[in-house]
Structure 1
Amino acid sequence: MEVTDLLPSSRLLSTEPVGTQVDGGDGCPDPGSATAVRVVLDTSVLVADPSCLASFDTAHLVIPLTVVEELDGLKTRPDDVGRSARAALRALEELRMANGGSLATPAPVGAGTLQIEINGVQKHLLIEHGLDPAVPDNRIIGAALGQTEHGPTVMVSNDAALRIKAAHLGVSAAEHQPSRAARPERRIGWGVVETAYETIDCLYAAGSVAADAVPHGATIGENEFAVLRSGSQSALTRRADDEFVLLPQNVPEAWGLRPRSKEQRFALELLLDPEVSVIALDGRAGTGKTLLAIAAGLEQVVEQQRYERVAVYRPLVPVGRADVGFLPGGLDEKLDPWMAAIHDAIVALTDEGCSNDAGRLVDELTCRGQLSLESVTFLRGRSLQRQLVVIDEAQNLEPTTLKTILTRVGEGTKVVFTGDTSQIDAPYLGESNNALAVLTAAFAGQSCFGHITLTACERSDVASLAAELL
């Protein structure tokens, strides 16, 4: 059986049109119907997206009791995984209380149903295929095998190994996709649009043109950028309300840093615009995400005095999850290894690229209260006023942490999320369900939000080759 990608609320979860499913008498499809698709959820889905239970349209959700046991074991963790486990358990408890005190039989959830499966684990099939029934993941697969006897079944999990094993045993397997952009392809924040030369002439003459005067102009969202082309003519524009506005001829500069590509130019336009208060910068290593954010922050704090402080936060997630254990020293000394990337960015912004000069600059700005380097761990309960906040490595944050961060934002504060959604070191997260991807999908089209995906590596020739070839 082929492993497939499946959106949870897609009609792909139904083998027949919704109208052909049998009504169970309470307005929900009958889970015993031969046309009813049964969706078995893994623990990783509920940890990554605790509020997903109502997002599967007419599917009949089945949660093996093993999943509840695993959530129970995770709920005491002090991190985002523990918080998500508690939220998922609360959602199940509320549903149980609303449906007579038990989920042993299907309970209505939206247009579908949900039940907790206690029996039906096909242990003999697991043993036949060399899988240990005592392993929780294998028991979840065994429960999915039991559901195949009642109708079409899909195993939904963020665990690639579990999906592979389930598909090998004949159960259709899919990855959970909690965030759905309005377009089939992921937004990159800019695009190239072919238009008539008269439109470009009008743009240069008036400074802007109506969006409906540009073919396919509707595909460019609010605060996204378009390169309008007509033969050898071209113009860099930004979508603002119902117009494409010509970018200024003077290239923006931040703390002595000039953009090396049109993508970096677009990013700086957003970073230096006080009206855009939430920004997401995505891109592979070496594209300049962190460097641009730090340069724009220093420019607006030290030179323009638009904000009082550049506050840099990073998640403490080791590369490859190879934990180095306890670090010696006080809090600042413990955070130093995690903040080395920020120090490197400031080194690149000094006149001679000198580490000593960068160290002195960091110390001076820190003493003046214009720069702080902290862990995301310490954000809860804070209220961030008149600060430019940089959340680095945001791809390693859960969506629940994203909400925690954005609800800390006070008046006059700008938040910049940077990260590479292709390099994720946190468990239970993938390219589609991390904080950066969820933010881009949820805030798309808002006037306070801007997003750019950087693709050109500008760090060095070696870094560019490594990103391309490895």
Structure 2
Amino acid sequence: MKKVYVIDTNVFLQDPRAIFQFEDNEVVIPAVVLEEIDSKKRYMDEIGRNARQFSRMLDRLRNQGKLHEGIPLENGGTVRVELNHRSLQYLKETFIEVTNDNRILAVAMNLQSELQASDPAKKVIIVSKDALVRVKADALGIVAEDFLSDRVTEYDNIYKGKLYQEVSKDVLNQFYENQELPVSILEKERLYPHQFIVLKDALGTPASAVAKVDETGKLVKPFAKEPEHVWGIKPRNVEQKMALELLLREDIPLVTLTGKAGTGKTLLSLAAGLLQTEDMGRYNKLLVARPVVPMGKDIGFLPGEKEEKLRPWMQPVFDNLEYLFNTKKPGELDQILAGMGSIQVEALTYIRGRSIPDQFIIIDEAQNLTKHEVKTILTRVGEGSKIVFMGDPAQIDHPYLDELNNGLAYVVEMFKDQAISGHVKLEKGERSGLAQLAADLL
């Protein structure tokens, strides 16, 4: 039985092509949704871009017929703009205020009342990214769903880049003797290129080994021998060793790191970048960028030149650089960076239109990027460059993103089976005992 999906505005602002995700069912767009999208189309950000793309797509559909009567889609469904069923008569008994959310709920409620009389088997479902809209719909007896088509994977299936596996003592001995193992001996689930495996003795003895799937995905080999320290930084746990292995490999131009606050993502990336830029000369420049997304209320416009405006947003990067350079006096880091000239700290606002060859690029707080933004960044990377995306998907400040549809998760999932990329999730905090406890408890 076909269903009727009433779509909230935030769905189209997240995915402008969402109308094509409902198979052969009927998609209803309340008129108020067009008004809300019209108010967003002048925004010079991802929301504005999606609003404009949705508007142009509807305009093209208009050439096929009248939108208020319904237009067939390629997948067998239909889409229409609902001009009627706007009465708030029944809704006012529960929700008195006339808001855009309540107007969308009224459309769904009135459609449901009409169908109960004419076609009781046909179900009306409201689709919204707004949790409270779904709660209110449920209170009104309307089926409500989140829009899940933009999620890259299920919650429990997010790729971690590592796994732990128990093997026999004979397999461990074979690994130590031959310095490799065929994946077929280990595989209980699919393994990906550059995936890390911690081998443990199935009998419970202390014998173990840390290995990595090679670029072909067919062999498991030991780590490359890592340096004793990287710009004074020594890995404190096996996950940090995994991260450094990926960061220092020239044949892996794309690295993604996820983990809670304090797991060492930024510090390790900066140390690896400085080593390969300043000491090894592998790259011409170290470029560090992060999205300008505030946590909590925005602090408004800032005075000064571009560098002065960016300083508060980029301060976490400068904090790590001060630690690496062991600076003690105010202004000392600025003098060092000015003298070196090979370290550039930028906001991602300025990356569009650039081509970035022969650079070590670090994108911090990448969980606040959309899928479109990470595509824009990756298509800027030139020959001879290496790019590192890192962040904590559990700490998202963007209003339309969550743990499963953000740009960082998108890159991790889409590139996990590519030989040119590597990923690891860092789980053990090393900032301080307090920071680790706060990350776990809060």
2:239 paired residue among 251, 263, 267 = 263
1:323 paired residue among 289, 298, 308 = 298
Kept after mapping to 1: 8 A contact 2:211/2:221: yes
Answering whether residue 376 of structure 2 is matched by residue 389 of structure 1, we say: no
Aligned mates of 1:268, 1:40 — CA distance in 2: 48
Aligned mates of 1:304, 1:324 — CA distance in 2: 40
Residues 272-306 of structure 1 deviation map (CA, whole Å, 9 limit, x = unaligned): 11222222211111111111111111111111111
| 1:358-437 equivalent positions in 2, closer than 5 A | 360-437=332-409
Question: Which position in structure 2 is the counterpart of 1:129?
Answer: 94
Aligned mates of 2:85, 2:416 — CA distance in 1: 43
2:169 paired residue among 197, 200, 211 = 197
Output the amino acid matched with 1:127.
Answer: K
Aligned mates of 2:68, 2:371 — CA distance in 1: 27
Question: Which position in structure 2 is the counterpart of 1:20?
Answer: none
Answering whether residue 252 of structure 2 is matched by residue 288 of structure 1, we say: no
Change (3 A) 1:309 1:363: farther
Report how far residue 190 of structure 1 moved.
Answer: 0.8
- The count of corresponding residues between Structure 1 and Structure 2 is 429
Question: Which position in structure 1 is the counterpart of 2:208?
Answer: 234
Aligned mates of 1:341, 1:56 — CA distance in 2: 42
Answering whether residue 391 of structure 2 is matched by residue 452 of structure 1, we say: no
2:110 paired residue among 146, 152, 155 = 146
Answering whether residue 321 of structure 2 is matched by residue 356 of structure 1, we say: no
Aligned mates of 2:233, 2:126 — CA distance in 1: 49
Answering whether residue 301 of structure 2 is matched by residue 297 of structure 1, we say: no
Report how far residue 184 of structure 1 moved.
Answer: 5.3
Aligned mates of 1:275, 1:56 — CA distance in 2: 41
Q: Which moved more, 1:118-127 or 1:309-318?
A: 118-127
Residues 347-384 of structure 1 deviation map (CA, whole Å, 9 limit, x = unaligned): 2324xx44438x53553334433111111111111111
Change (3 A) 1:140 1:360: same
Kept after mapping to 2: 8 A contact 1:120/1:143: yes
Change (3 A) 1:116 1:325: same
Answering whether residue 57 of structure 2 is matched by residue 81 of structure 1, we say: no
Unaligned runs of 5+ in 1: 1-34
Aligned mates of 2:227, 2:68 — CA distance in 1: 61
1:160 paired residue among 109, 125, 131 = 131
Answering whether residue 82 of structure 2 is matched by residue 117 of structure 1, we say: yes
Report how far residue 393 of structure 1 moved.
Answer: 1.1
Report how far residue 271 of structure 1 moved.
Answer: 1.0
Report how far residue 253 of structure 1 moved.
Answer: 3.7
Output the amino acid matched with 1:348.
Answer: Y
Aligned mates of 1:227, 1:112 — CA distance in 2: 48
Output the amino acid matched with 1:239.
Answer: V
Kept after mapping to 2: 8 A contact 1:276/1:450: yes
Answering whether residue 254 of structure 2 is matched by residue 278 of structure 1, we say: yes
Question: Which position in structure 2 is the counterpart of 1:12?
Answer: none
RMSD: 2.1
Change (3 A) 1:440 1:52: farther
Answering whether residue 157 of structure 2 is matched by residue 185 of structure 1, we say: yes
Aligned mates of 1:315, 1:411 — CA distance in 2: 24
Report how far residue 251 of structure 1 moved.
Answer: 6.0
Aligned mates of 1:299, 1:250 — CA distance in 2: 13
SS of residue matched to 1:213: helix
Output the amino acid matched with 1:96.
Answer: R
TM-score (norm 2): 0.91
Output the amino acid matched with 1:144.
Answer: A
Aligned mates of 2:279, 2:318 — CA distance in 1: 20
Output the amino acid matched with 2:138.
Answer: A
| 1:3-22 equivalent positions in 2, closer than 5 A | none
Change (3 A) 1:267 1:79: same
Change (3 A) 1:130 1:183: closer
Question: Which position in structure 1 is the counterpart of 2:119?
Answer: none
Report the identity percentage.
38
Question: Which position in structure 2 is the counterpart of 1:441?
Answer: 413
Unaligned runs of 5+ in 2: 116-121
TM-score (norm 1): 0.86
Change (3 A) 1:102 1:39: closer
Q: Which moved more, 1:56-65 or 1:411-420?
A: 56-65
Residues 22-54 of structure 1 deviation map (CA, whole Å, 9 limit, x = unaligned): xxxxxxxxxxxxx21222222212112223332
